[in-house]
Chain A
Amino acid sequence: MEFDVVKLGFSLAGIIILLFLPPYLDGIARRVKARLQYRRGPPLSQTWYDLQKLFSLPSVRSTRSALFTWAPYLALASSITAALLLPYGNIVPINIGFNLIVFFYVILMVSVLLMLAGLTVQSAFSHLGSAREMQIILTVEPLIAILYGVMAYNAGSLNIARIIAHLHLTPSLVLTYGVLAYALYVESGFVPFDIAEAEQEVIGGPLSEYSGRLLGVFYYAIHIKRFALLWFFISVLVLPWLGTIATSIKAVEVLALQFLLTLAAYPIIAALEATNARLRVDQVVKMNTRMFFAGVIILAMAFMGW
């Protein structure tokens, strides 16, 4: 097999970004929120310090269930896998045929594992949190599936790289971007959709029995998942309109653009988080259902060729 230095380089860059950037993104969000609240806010690395501290602490296991111990690691593996399925520059580190479907499922796995982990312990708050997580998954995932379907139909492929290469601008695609932003925001669990882990209501929900290293791993997995969803959104939003990426230099420029846009998106997310109260799960289910029907209409539009 031919040893491709360029591909290796971009993949490495991708891996470094996906492993190190997510906690800094959270740091940016914390800083922006603090500024909106007239506070100074913690240093940008604060999330890293928090994780470091959690990693160094032992975990209290309140159940014998093996899933309780494995769920954070599996979630971390899932979110890393998801992030590896995305393009960095013009390179997708794991480029397999239908990787959009794989991306959909591995991202979903993080939520599913969070939910299952919550159900392994005997705690009303964990169970409530898991039930909420489940309701959110059950209502938002069909919406995401439909929107992915629109994009796949539009581009004629289920491969993320090929979708990016072949997307063409139609009204349905523009609408898809809008709804997709909402759906991925919900899936990321930012305020007002941080319902499953609501601190004041269910004391952290599925995470309420987690502590120390296991909690740290879960947090890390969730940060990477949020990063992956954002990176994916930015990639499908911007990359199709940059023309073919033939040279390495252009690929580096594209990677830099992806990186900067991801950084730029986080303050917006943080501002949304800071200016909203948390919704109730029934309100979110209602909103998701409405959005689902909007998604169906968009799908119909796409089939009509609009």
Chain B
Amino acid sequence: MVTTRDLEAHFEFECKACENGHCSKADVEKILAERKGLKDFYETFKEHIRECKRMTYGQYMFVIDREILPEAVLWWHNHPEFKETHLSTAVGTDERPLNGKFAFIPFLNVQVEPLNMDGNYWVFLKTYMPADDPSFPSVAAKLPAALWIEREVKDLLGFNPINHPDPRRLILPEDWPEGVYPLRKDMDYKHSPITEPKTEYRPTPKDTSLVPMGPVHAGVEEPAHFRLFVKGEEIVDVDYRGFYSHRGIEKTGEGRLTYNQILFLAERICGICGYQHSVSYAMAVERLADVEIPDRARYIRTLLLELERIHNHLLWVGIAAHLVGYDTGFMHAWRIREPVMWLVERLTGNRKQYGMNIVGGVRRDLLDYRKEEVLKVVRQIREDTKKFLDIALNTNTFIKRAEGVGILPYKVAKAYSVLGPTARASGRKIDARLDQATKTAMAYNEVDFKVPVYKEGDVLARVLVRMDELFESIWIVEQLIDQMPGGNIMVPIGDLPEYEEALGFTEAHRGEVVHYVMTGEKNKVYRWKVRAPTYNNLPAIPEMLKGYHVADAPIIIASIDPCYSCTERVQFVDIKTRKVKVLTEAEFNELSIKHKGVF
């Protein structure tokens, strides 16, 4: 049995967080003494700090003046002792209905010591801006990791990052009118204005020609638009325009759904790492409600998260092989992966882990006789993957395409706050599973595993990191099955405190997923912010592409495993009658009957 130290279990249907001093009402001096570095920060910026409080276990907030925002962020990011600290993301909130102000909160993942979840913590640097002048000095001018974050709040909330080096539109479509800000509370979620499209591409540099990769490109199955400026085949510079599939999920969630409904929206953010989003969101809300979820639920969640990692890494390595024309690798990787999907279908009723989570636990128990099956599948995968790697890593042409390509140096990786395997392939020793206190929602503190780190920073290193992780995941699954505790699988949450904020996070197979939740009245969510790892990894892509060939572009882009958050289905169109028929599940299954013994 594990104690989640700070948080005690509360089964009463009422808010316990405030009573126990786990939220804003705790004593300041006591809070600052809790973790290393907090006091130093407080001393350095004393006269600009308006308020400091602990949001929940391992999450601290400083309300600071907007003038010192860049200095404060950089103080943490470039902290000489906390080497792996990074600017994780930021959220902008329209708090005018509450206090007449706008708020902008960068989050820093402070790493006092790598992989020490009780020593590391999150820092929220909240800054308020008056409603008539929502501007703040740009952090992006000094730290590329903030480039997108600030463009995002500019688009969605109309904040003005002063001196931002690249203040073009990022998220909203080209035909969205100026001056309409969807995430402001006075805008209805159904409002969808349209105007003349206006594109803001960077001009093509002198003596180069343009290769437009996307928005639809055979190599990158994602609506993303890379504009490669090339000399011959060499890439000189890159411009990026994305967010073609922006769905406004945050706006839909806010104010319209209850906290339990949002969970089901959260897991549909991504078709690949959906469960990571679902757990992150659930974790944030559980932190707010200050409940300890049952151990069995934590174990089942961890099990499913790791199964997700296993199948995603296999999926990814298949795609990588396909992109360099090594289709045999692709087919075999996906063949090995398929049993995991079948297994997950047995465990959750769904090939993806959809509908499995709930705030406070999980919805389905793991039946004991299925434990054997889980072990059988993961052991088979270990054997098959070993064979696969033996062949793939001995394919000379595959190695030639992956080695020394798309190198991302450590410094650049850190400056862009690159996450996950991409970061670990560049020598960053980070892994949100162990870095931050995931133990309130998952069981990573009770299993043993290594975090593989490579220094090369090329595509091959990213392949190797992922494959090492896959074996670690299998090892984690075996331990989880072995140690699976009994007991309940969920605990009721009760009412949420009003206007409190917390983060939930997991390490998806692409990097750290962060969900920020600010509660509203009546158990609704006032602000919900999702940050998928690709959001941090993608801005670093131009840095990886420069100097390499157009031929390398697909594999380099794919090497961060960009998230394809779109759904696809099969439909037949009769070209004569124009009738459209969408396949039913049974018909679809018939198309993919599991044939055996091809050889």
Bound together, the chains give a CA A36 to CA B401 distance in angstroms of 22
Q: Beyond A33-B328, A131-B233, A200-B218, is A280–B211 a contact (Cβ under 8 Å)?
A: no
Is A248's beta carbon under 8 Å from chain B?
A: no
* B197 proximal to A (CB < 8 A): no
Contact B326 A277 (CB under 8 A): yes
> How far, in angstroms, from A241 to B336 measured CA to CA in the complex?
48
Q: With A and B bound together, what is the CA distance between A279 and B211 in angstroms?
A: 20
Instruction: Say yes or no: A37-B332 contact (C-beta < 8 A), given A201-B219, A277-B324.
Output: yes
Contact at A124–B210, with CB atoms within 8 Å?
yes
CB of B211 within 8 A of CB of A277, answer: no
C-alpha gap A125/B212 in the complex (Å):
9
Q: Contact: A278 with B325, CB < 8 Å?
A: yes
In the bound complex, residues from chain A placing their C-beta under 8 Å from that of B595 are 40
Q: In A29-66, which residues have CB < 8 Å from any B CB?
A: 33, 35-40
Give the docked Cα–Cα distance between A277 and B320 (Å): 10
Does A209 touch B at the CB level, under 8 Å? no
The interface stretch among B51-59, B415-423, B545-553 is B545-553
Report the Cα distance A277→B400, complex, angstroms: 9
Please tell me which one of the listed residues A36, A194, A280 contacts residue B549 in the complex, with CB atoms under 8 A apart.
Answer: A280
Q: Are B219 and A192 in contact (CB under 8 A)?
A: no
What is the CA–CA distance of A282 and B327 in the complex, to the nearest angstrom? Answer: 22
Are A128 and B397 interface neighbours, CB within 8 A?
Answer: no
A38-B332, A198-B325, A200-B554 are contacts. A277–B232 as well, Cβ < 8 Å? Answer: no
- Tell me if B598 is interfacial: C-beta within 8 Å of chain A: yes
Distance A279 CA – B325 CA, assembled complex (angstroms): 9
Per-residue CB contact flags for chain A residues 108-148 toward chain B (1 = under 8 Å, else 0) read: 00000000000000001100100110000000000000000
- Does B209 lie at the interface of the complex (its beta carbon under 8 Å from any beta carbon of A)? yes
Residues facing B in A240-289 (CB within 8 A) are: 274-283
Which residues A157-212 have CB closer than 8 A to chain B? 191-192, 194-195, 198-204
Establish whether residues B598 and A283, one from each chain, have CB atoms under 8 Å apart when the complex forms. no
Residue of B326, B332, B335 near A276 (CB, 8 A) is: B326
Cross-chain contact A195 with B331 (CB below 8 angstroms): no
Separation of A131 and B209 alpha carbons in the complex (Å): 14
Q: Which residues of A contact B598 (CB under 8 A)?
A: 35, 38-40
By the criterion CB–CB under 8 Å, are A283 and B400 in contact? yes
Main SS of the interface on chain B? Answer: helix
- Nearest CB in chain A to that of B330: its residue: A37
CA distance A39 to B334 in the complex (A): 12
Is the pair A278, B397 in contact by a Cβ cutoff of 8 Å? yes
Contact A195 B401 (CB under 8 A): no
What is the CA–CA distance of A194 and B400 in the complex, to the nearest angstrom?
Answer: 16
Central interface residue in A202, A274, A277, A280, by most chain B CB within 10 Å: A277
CB distance from B459 to the nearest CB of A (A): 12
Residues of B near A276 (CB, < 8 A) are 325-326, 395-398
Count of B residues near A, CB < 8 Å? 37
Complex CA–CA separation, A131 to B332 (angstroms): 33
Return the contact of B218 from the options A199, A275, A279 (Cβ within 8 A). A199
User: Which A residues are in CB contact (< 8 Å) with B400?
Assistant: 277, 279-280, 283
A38 to B552, CA, bound (A): 28
- Kindly identify which residue among A35, A203, A279 contacts B401, using a CB–CB cutoff of 8 Å: A279
CA distance A132 to B212 in the complex (A): 18
CB distance from B400 to the nearest CB of A (A): 6
Bound-state CA distance A278–B398 (Å) is 8
Residues of B near A195 (CB, < 8 A) are 551
Of A37, A39, A124, A281, which one neighbours B551 at CB under 8 angstroms?
A281
Q: Are B401 and A280 in contact, with the CB atoms below 8 A?
A: yes
* B322 at interface by CB-CB < 8 Å: yes
Q: How far is the CA of A278 from the CA of B401 in the complex (A)?
A: 8
Residue of B nearest to A194 (CB): B325
Q: Could you tell me if A282 and B209 are in contact, using CB atoms closer than 8 angstroms? A: no
The interface bits of chain B over 316-355 (1 if a CB of A lies within 8 angstroms of the residue's CB, else 0) are 0000011111111101100100000000000000000000
B376 CB–A CB distance under 8 Å: no
Indicate whether B50 reaches chain A with its CB closer than 8 angstroms.
Answer: no
Q: Indicate which residue in B209, B332, B551 contacts A198 across the interface (CB closer than 8 Å).
A: B551
Chain B min CB distance to A280 (Å): 5
B217 at the interface (CB under 8 A from A): yes
- Asked if B599 lies at the interface with its beta carbon under 8 angstroms from chain A, I say yes
In the complex, which residue of chain B has the Cβ closest to the Cβ of A204?
A: B218
Known A-B contacts A198-B325, A200-B325, A280-B401; A39 and B331 likewise in contact (beta carbons under 8 Å):
yes
Kindly report which residue of chain B lies nearest to residue A192, judged by CB atoms.
B397
Question: CB-CB < 8 A to A279: which residues of B?
Answer: 397, 400-401
**Contact residues in A for B217 (Cβ distance below 8 Å):** 203
Q: How far is the CB of A204 from chain B (nearest CB, A)?
A: 8
Tell whether, in the assembled complex, residue A201 and residue B326 are in contact, meaning their CB atoms are under 8 Å apart.
Answer: no
Q: Check A131–B232 contact: CB distance below 8 A.
A: yes
Q: Which residue of A lies closest to B548 (CB)?
A: A280
A282–B549 touching, CB < 8 Å: yes
Contact residues in A for B323 (Cβ distance below 8 Å): 200
Contact with B325, one of A128, A192, A281 (Cβ below 8 angstroms): A192
* Contact flags A226-244 to B (C-beta < 8 A → 1, else 0): 0000000000000000000
Supplied contacts A195-B551, A203-B219, 19 more A-B pairs, CB within 8 Å: A37-B335, A124-B210, A199-B219, A200-B219, A200-B322, A200-B323, A201-B551, A201-B553, A275-B328, A276-B326, A276-B396, A276-B397, A276-B398, A277-B325, A277-B398, A278-B401, A279-B397, A281-B549, A283-B400
In the A-B complex, the 3 residue pairs with the smallest Cβ-Cβ separation, listed nearest first, are A278-B325, A37-B331, A277-B326
| Chain B interface (Cβ < 8 Å from any Cβ of A) | 209-212, 217-219, 232-233, 321-329, 331-332, 335, 391, 395-398, 400-401, 549-554, 595, 598-599
Give chain A's interface residues, CB within 8 Å of chain B: 33, 35-40, 124-125, 128, 131-132, 191-192, 194-195, 198-204, 274-283
Pick 16 A–B contacts, CB within 8 A, sort by A.
A37-B335, A128-B550, A132-B233, A199-B219, A200-B324, A201-B550, A201-B554, A203-B217, A203-B218, A276-B395, A277-B321, A277-B325, A277-B401, A278-B326, A278-B551, A282-B549
